[in-house]
Amino acid sequence: MIGIKYCGGCNPRYDRVTLAEALKKKMGDKRFITGEQALSADLLIVVTGCQSRCPKISFSSNKILHIDKATPIDEIIERINDLESEAK
């Protein structure tokens, strides 16, 4: 499972949810979870609106991927696949 957490959204010019939805659509075979359940996932994606990465996440795994609008979808998918293959 892949968890998705969002930053606080102080940058209203960037739709974080749209990026996450595009990622889910492109990776259709993956299971994504949000909310508090996301913290129990094998991998956590933190979707931020800028590069300050202000969300402080307490996560039991070291597999945390911070993404923002500057991160191309294909690069995100490649990084997810790399992190998942490390676990095997």
The CATH number assigned to the domain with range 2-86 reads 3.40.50
60 — phi, psi (to 5°)?
-70, -15
- Domains of the chain: which residue ranges? 2-86
How many whole angstroms separate alpha carbon 22 and alpha carbon 35? 18
Is the pLDDT score of 61 beyond 70?
no
- Cα–Cα distance measured from residue 71 to residue 19, given in angstroms and rounded to the nearest whole number: 10
pTM across the whole model: 0.80
pLDDT in tens, 5-57: 887 777 777 788 888 888 889 998 678 998 888 888 889 998 887 766 666 66
